[in-house]
Chain A
Amino acid sequence: MKTKLAYLLLLALLLVAPFLVYPVFLMKLLCFALFASAFNLILGYGGLLSFGHAAFFGGAGYFTGHALKVWGLPTELGILAGALGAALMGLAIGQLAIRRHGIYFAMITLAMAQMAYFLFVTSSFTGGENGLQGIPRGTALGLFDLQNNLTLYYFVLAICALGIGLIARTVRSPFGQVLAAIRDNENRARSLGYDIERYKLLAFVLSAGLAGLAGATKTVVFQLASLTDVHWHMSGEVVLMTLLGGLGTLAGPAVGAGVIVTLQNYLASGPLSAWVPVVLGVIFVICVLAFRRGIVGELRALIRNSF
């Protein structure tokens, strides 16, 4: 009952938000919330630290940009193409990385993502250093003009809600149960007859595809696909968002993304603009030292202990 009420409140808040805050900023926030939630699916629920998620996020941006600008696909299909492309990249990288554990898994994903970065820099369809600019936003369902920021906001809200909804469902699904079991005790899961690599791979592909959905949507919002989104900084940033918000909690990564994006935006226009990485670094250190479970994780523990 209480959770239902909370969801309704959140929905109401999200619906009126663009009248109070600049919609483009809100859309950026939503995209990163989805990105971090997708990342959390593989780190928080799969127990695998990927250090290459920028490849999926930024890669999908390029695919979508190309599909919209050059092929002239409708916006929905363009975004779908980006997400599918990212999922395929996830399948390729996952195949190679999934048998490794811990630091080795992280290193392979990082290396593969760096290779993807190199490919994106050198291929002509990405526009290299300039990126893809002036990507058309198009219309939603051929009816609503997405050039209007307010219309686009509701479009983006719907996409991100669907994406995060799918993640929430996946976690509670039969597949989610097997994934949780594998994270808890891999050998036991194996001795129950599960081919654990196949489950991890599916989780990785889902995570990559949803990260791609976030990147594709962001490309439509900013009408731009650039190297920033495939750079390994982005892979690091999403780790930070997820840990800060709360690993393995549903709302945590979204909250973490909100905090980081807000801070970046706020600081960028102030006197601390050159110090953004330092400020974020300090926050990260405090997070790891003082509240390891992240914002949502600590809050949840607090509520549990006080009742």
Chain B
Amino acid sequence: MTETGDFILQTQGLTKEFKGFTAVNGVDLRIRRHTIHALIGPNGAGKTTVFNLLTKFLTPTRGTIAFNGRDITPAKPAEIARMGVVRSFQISAVFPHMTARENVRVALLRKLGTSFHFWRGERALAPLNDRADELLAMVGLERFREAVVADLPYGRKRALELATTLALDPELMLLDEPTQGMGREDVELVTQLIRKVSANRTILMVEHNLGVVSTLCDTITVLQRGAVLTEGTYAEVSADPRVKEAYMGRAA
């Protein structure tokens, strides 16, 4: 079917209710392959909840999720990751007591198939070093290989998180506010990085920084109170009066 061929991820009527409160209400998302798609909306619009539903960190109350035309609604988070949908988190998700190289290596390790081998020494990890260093260099962390991650500045941690995610070579990357809490320089750096890694990949990102969204994203979906308000290119969406209203409140 051409329809599933065009779209890597589709949701239908995705709904999440928490005890009498509907956080996500009948969301139909269609993410076109090899594009960068943004999910924006005011605080509490349900963006992160949608992310958690897509990666099954939360179970939807209703609705279905299809990845490459295949229903993944009942799958577990780790399974989703193994299929090629890998997410990042709003707060930087790194392994703080390990070095930068070890962080990336842990991600590479799973495909090597030795992750249960408790009787093998450090040498069993050595074959991963080259690829790990390559990924670190890609995000500008080559000088920090041996640094314990807890000591790295925030922007570097986010870069490392990106390298770790890339290590899995995901078909679809879900980035939850990749530039949150960053200074202008770091934002610039991460924006370029995302553009760089988007080749041959699909990216869905939640982002508050509209500057980043306007330069990076092909399609933007605006969420409000758990439902889709509108969808389109940046120009289309930013011209929509309802979007301004959602962000600013009703014009006085």
Q: Does B57 reach chain A (CB closer than 8 Å)?
A: yes
Q: Does B19 reach chain A (CB closer than 8 Å)?
A: no
A83 to chain B, nearest CB (A): 15
* B81 and A177 within 8 A (CB): no
CA distance A189 to B164 in the complex (A): 11
CA distance A173 to B94 in the complex (A): 20
Q: Number of B residues contacting the other chain (C-beta, 8 Å)?
A: 39
* Interface residue from A169, A177, A194, A202 paired with B78 (Cβ < 8 Å): A194
* Interface residue from B81, B112, B119 paired with A169 (Cβ < 8 Å): B119
B-contact 0/1 string along A185-228, CB 8 Å cutoff = 10111111111101100100010000000000000000000000
Task: List the B side residues contacting A206 at CB < 8 Å.
Answer: 118
* A173 and B106 within 8 A (CB): no
* B109 and A196 within 8 A (CB): no
B-contact 0/1 string along A161-200, CB 8 Å cutoff = 0000010011011111110110011011111111110110
Q: Does B77 reach chain A (CB closer than 8 Å)?
A: yes
A304 to chain B, nearest CB (A): 12
Dominant SS at the A interface? Answer: helix
* A180 and B120 within 8 A (CB): no
Within 8 A of A (CB), among B191-221: none
Q: Does B18 reach chain A (CB closer than 8 Å)?
A: no
* Interface residue from A172, A180, A195 paired with B98 (Cβ < 8 Å): A180
Q: Does B72 reach chain A (CB closer than 8 Å)?
A: no
Q: Which among B85-93, B134-142, B182-190 touches the partner chain? A: B85-93
* A188 and B95 within 8 A (CB): yes
CA distance A184 to B95 in the complex (A): 5
* A192 and B112 within 8 A (CB): no
Task: List the A side residues contacting B120 at CB < 8 Å.
Answer: 169, 173-174
* Interface residue from B76, B97, B107, B118 paired with A192 (Cβ < 8 Å): B107
* B78 and A196 within 8 A (CB): yes
* A185 and B95 within 8 A (CB): yes
Q: Does B37 reach chain A (CB closer than 8 Å)?
A: no
CA distance A177 to B95 in the complex (A): 11
Task: List the A side residues contacting B164 at CB < 8 Å.
Answer: 192
CA distance A175 to B112 in the complex (A): 12
* B97 and A194 within 8 A (CB): no
* Interface residue from A174, A180, A196 paired with B117 (Cβ < 8 Å): A174
Q: Which among B4-12, B39-47, B121-129, B229-237 touches the partner chain? A: B121-129
B88 to chain A, nearest CB (A): 8
A239 to chain B, nearest CB (A): 22
Take A184-B96, A193-B168 as given contacts and tell me if A177 and B105 are in contact as well, using a CB distance cutoff of 8 Å. Answer: yes
| Chain A residue at minimal CB-CB distance from B110 | A193
Q: Does B73 reach chain A (CB closer than 8 Å)?
A: no
* B119 and A193 within 8 A (CB): no
* Interface residue from A166, A175, A192 paired with B81 (Cβ < 8 Å): A192
Task: List the A side residues contacting B122 at CB < 8 Å.
Answer: 172-173
B52 to chain A, nearest CB (A): 10
* B81 and A193 within 8 A (CB): yes
* A188 and B89 within 8 A (CB): yes
Take A184-B96, A192-B110 as given contacts and tell me if A175 and B115 are in contact as well, using a CB distance cutoff of 8 Å. Answer: yes
Task: List the B side residues contacting A175 at CB < 8 Å.
Answer: 115-118
B195 to chain A, nearest CB (A): 23
* A169 and B121 within 8 A (CB): yes
* A173 and B118 within 8 A (CB): yes
Give the one of B55, B88, B109 with max A CB within 10 A: B109
Q: Does B114 reach chain A (CB closer than 8 Å)?
A: yes
Q: Does B102 reach chain A (CB closer than 8 Å)?
A: yes
| Chain A residue at minimal CB-CB distance from B107 | A192
Task: List the B side residues contacting A185 at CB < 8 Å.
Answer: 93-96
A266 to chain B, nearest CB (A): 37
| Chain B residue at minimal CB-CB distance from A179 | B118
Within 8 A of A (CB), among B130-168: 164, 168
CA distance A189 to B115 in the complex (A): 12
Task: List the A side residues contacting B77 at CB < 8 Å.
Answer: 190-191
CA distance A272 to B87 in the complex (A): 59
* Interface residue from B86, B102, B103, B115 paired with A194 (Cβ < 8 Å): B115
| Chain B residue at minimal CB-CB distance from A178 | B115
A173-B124, A191-B88 known; 10 new pairs, CB 8 Å cut-off, are A170-B118, A175-B116, A178-B115, A181-B106, A184-B97, A187-B57, A190-B77, A191-B57, A193-B78, A206-B118
**21 pairs, A vs B, C-beta closer than 8 Å:** A166-B119, A169-B121, A170-B119, A172-B121, A174-B115, A176-B118, A178-B109, A180-B102, A181-B103, A184-B98, A185-B94, A188-B89, A188-B93, A189-B95, A189-B106, A190-B78, A191-B57, A191-B81, A191-B86, A193-B86, A195-B76
- Interface on B for A, CB 8 Å cutoff? 55, 57, 76-79, 81-82, 86-89, 93-98, 102-103, 105-107, 109-110, 112, 114-122, 124-125, 164, 168
- Interface on A for B, CB 8 Å cutoff? 166, 169-170, 172-178, 180-181, 184-185, 187-196, 198-199, 202, 206
CB-based closest 5 A-B pairs: A193-B81, A175-B118, A184-B95, A188-B93, A170-B118
